[in-house]
A and B are shown apart, each in its own frame.
Chain A
Amino acid sequence: ETGVTQTPRHLVMGMTNKKSLKCEQHLGHNAMYWYKQSAKKPLELMFVYSLEERVENNSVPSRFSPECPNSSHLFLHLHTLQPEDSALYLCASSPPSATRTGELFFGEGSRLTVL
């Protein structure tokens, strides 16, 4: 138990569906992240929120839409995805005042399959 909970753990969706991934952290952290993990590739940072404000957006297609309603919750809304978007999506958080030197705390991931 890392204190970062992701739901659902597995999601299968068609290309025309709309779905959302949810992340919740119980650690009192103030920065939250979405990463994409594909096999045998480095992790790709998608979005970062700090104090509920988006601070990083790494050229992610608009079919991925993040939302951070408060410092404990992070969503990734999915719409008209492509099969190449199939991957493990990881949520992470980091503690205040230690963004550069502190470690990340990851959830267990949401395995997304796009048909």
Chain B
Amino acid sequence: AQSVAQPEDQVNVAEGNPLTVKCTYSVSGNPYLFWYVQYPNRGLQFLLKYITGDNLVKGSYGFEAEFNKSQTSFHLKKPSALVSDSALYFCAVRDQDSNYQLIWGAGTKLIIKP
């Protein structure tokens, strides 16, 4: 069965430190992977995606993610966290059987402390 797992409900990081938000997936075939961010009382915003090519993908707000096929992971990273990065982060993978469905993780709350 296709699935996405975000193993941490919450991640706490001190401002200025590197951050990682984890995502693992299970799909057959080549995955199309996405990260979205949701700030309080807002909708989701696209951060970055992996479709093909370079395993290291750069996105908005200084975020990047590394696609690791052998570990079936797509972890979100940032070298130096900002307090304004505090938000809810969602990982998603395209459903192989649908042009429209995304399989979503349950989200990880990222808290950056000053």
Contact = CB atoms under 8 A, between A and B. Distances in A.
Contacts of B36: 104, 106
Interface residues of B, number: 25
B9 interface: yes
Interface in A19-42: 31, 33, 40-42
The size bracket of the interface on A is 20 to 34
Given A43-B90, A90-B44, A104-B44, A99 B106 contact: no
Interface string B64-107: 00000000000000000000000000100010001111111111
Contact of A105 (B46, B90, B99, B102): B46
Contacts of A101: 32, 49, 51, 94
Nearest to B47: A103
B43 A4 contact: yes
Interface of B: 4, 9, 32, 34, 36, 41-46, 49, 51, 90, 94, 98-107
19 contacts: A2-B45, A4-B43, A33-B100, A40-B106, A41-B106, A42-B107, A43-B90, A45-B101, A45-B102, A55-B99, A90-B44, A92-B43, A101-B51, A101-B94, A103-B46, A104-B44, A106-B36, A107-B43, A109-B43
